[in-house]
A and B are shown apart, each in its own frame.
Chain A
Amino acid sequence: MSTSVKSAVQSTQPATRKHAGSKSRRILSTWGPPLAVFAVILIAWYLLADYLFGIGRKTVLPTPNRIVSESFFGRGDPITEDLLRAVGLSLSVALIGLAISITIGVVWAVLMSQGRWVERSLFPYAVILQCVPILALVPLIGTSIGYSFESRVLVCVLISLFPMVSNTLFGLQSVERSQRELFKLQNASRWTVLTKLQFPNALPAIFAGMRISAGLAVVGAIVGDFFFRRGQPGLGILIANYASRVQTAQLFASIITAALIGVLIFLLFGWIAKVAVGRWYEPAS
């Protein structure tokens, strides 16, 4: 047999070049550029903070070392413990909200994939959900169902649901015509087509949706918190409080922590997707 079998190249790696591809070199090319940008940002930050300090506005932008020393370790007013507690709360709101979004989103999309008329009946509401200004809804949720943990989860779900619905639907519907006909020729039932063809076909899109929704869920958890300003303090309440008290170092520390959580969740879901479908899925490049 002349046809050779290509080795299972990990398609998730951005085309690693062949020439002298030593490991350290690859690590450098992966991490080098973003780290260089980070260094530039830090330098610019110091320069800007110094300039603002020079014109007497030292509270506007604290230097990075002040953020670290005043917020996280010892000196001044360390908030590490408050931050950790807030992160725990916001993270659980985000993860529960995300789990609910994933479940509702997938079920919603599966229903819509079962018939044109179902899609026509239900899709507009997914769009409306996406278009309603969530900031206007948050106070309404607070006054009507309270400022509890559940209301924060609800805000989270409202923000993170749409990508799950639209991505799953796209995945379910993007089955090739010939593959569908392959099943049709064997008189496969709707259920069989869904479970053996459409759903596996949709998995890469579903995971891509999860990645987007996960980031939004973190945002949702913080936004809900920020506007409620009641109950146990999550990250949103911390941010609101530090902002009103002009504790800029602590404010920046909270914002950076919130962003880090978002990034970590994004990476986590990228990794989950790679483990789940990376084996067979080749993104069109």
Chain B
Amino acid sequence: MSTEPLLDFSGVAMRFPNGTVALSGVDLTVGRGEFVTVVGPSGCGKSTLLRIASGLETASEGTTALGTTRIGYVFQDATLLPWRTVQSNVELLAELNHQSKKVRSAKAKEAIDLVGLTGFEKNLPKQLSGGMRMRTSLARSLTLDPELFLFDEPFGALDEITRERLGDELLRIFAEQNFAGLFITHSVAEAVYLSTRVIVMSGRPGRIVDEFDIPFGYPRDPDIRFTPEFAALSGKVSHALREGHS
């Protein structure tokens, strides 16, 4: 494990031109092999945190350091281009980075395989279910071979079964690729199940109110969700969430 963190935020605050303060005094470090999940009430600025990490926004205060340029970003919705097939959507990022057709297509094939979409390469987004669209989106980011992977509530719009299955797939890929993950969600169970560490944020302006190390190893058995240990941890996170909210 490298000692250099892939994401290092210190005293990060975000104040929008209209005066809204979205974040205040956020210190956060994510290293390789860590899967950090941020939970918080809606509007607490957790998405803003991710947008700052990706470079889509610039923090108005504090320092932000990134240990890599290979950053994957998964949006809330799949953001596929409806006129492109699965294959062509997955190739998009490599295409935007001016890679050759051959490299693109090889990378896309590998990523499509990794998310279990082999056989659907020629399908258009409108022919896919919500879960498959999200898999395509995931595959698209995987072609960047990211060292830091940012997820902005990617499974929020999916039904629970699909959501859990995709969570398991994500963990499998995480175990294989060993990236650093920063995952935003508002589901406590999802947070505890996926991560090595859970960060709890307060309502606006978003501050970090608590942190929990998750002791479970990988690969994770889906049944750990039903252990007393899991329940106890989820309880603590929920409690911190309520405290921070009031």
CA distance A200 to B88 in the complex (A): 14
CA distance A131 to B75 in the complex (A): 43
Residue of B nearest to A186 (CB): B96
Interface hit among A3-11, A139-147, A249-257: A3-11
**A–B complex contacts, Cβ < 8 Å, 6 sampled:** A3-B129, A178-B76, A184-B56, A185-B54, A200-B81, A282-B82
Q: Given A179-B81, A185-B54, A186-B93, is A279 in contact with B124 using a C-beta cutoff of 8 Å?
A: yes
Interface of B: prevailing SS: loop
| B56 surroundings in chain A (CB, below 8 A) | 181, 184-185
**Chain B 87-107: CB-based contact to A (< 8 A → 1; otherwise 0):** 000001101110000000000
The contact size tier of chain B is: 20 to 34
Binding site for A on B (CB under 8 A): 54-56, 71, 73, 75-77, 79, 81-83, 92-93, 95-97, 116, 120, 123-129, 131-132, 162
CA distance A176 to B71 in the complex (A): 21
Q: Given A186-B93, A200-B83, is A5 in contact with B127 using a C-beta cutoff of 8 Å?
A: yes
CA distance A191 to B208 in the complex (A): 41
In the complex, the answer to whether B123 meets A5 with C-beta atoms within 8 Å is yes
In the complex, the answer to whether A188 meets B96 with C-beta atoms within 8 Å is yes
**Residue A111 at the chain B interface, CB threshold 8 Å:** no
Query: B159 to chain A: closest CB distance in Å?
Result: 10
A: number of interface residues (CB 8 Å): 29
Query: B12 to chain A: closest CB distance in Å?
Result: 19
**Residue A30 at the chain B interface, CB threshold 8 Å:** no
| A201 surroundings in chain B (CB, below 8 A) | 81
Residue of A nearest to B51 (CB): A181
In the complex, the answer to whether A182 meets B126 with C-beta atoms within 8 Å is no
Known: A178-B77, A196-B96, A282-B126. 13 other contacts (CB 8 A): A3-B129, A3-B162, A5-B123, A6-B127, A8-B124, A8-B127, A178-B75, A181-B75, A182-B79, A185-B73, A277-B83, A280-B83, A281-B82
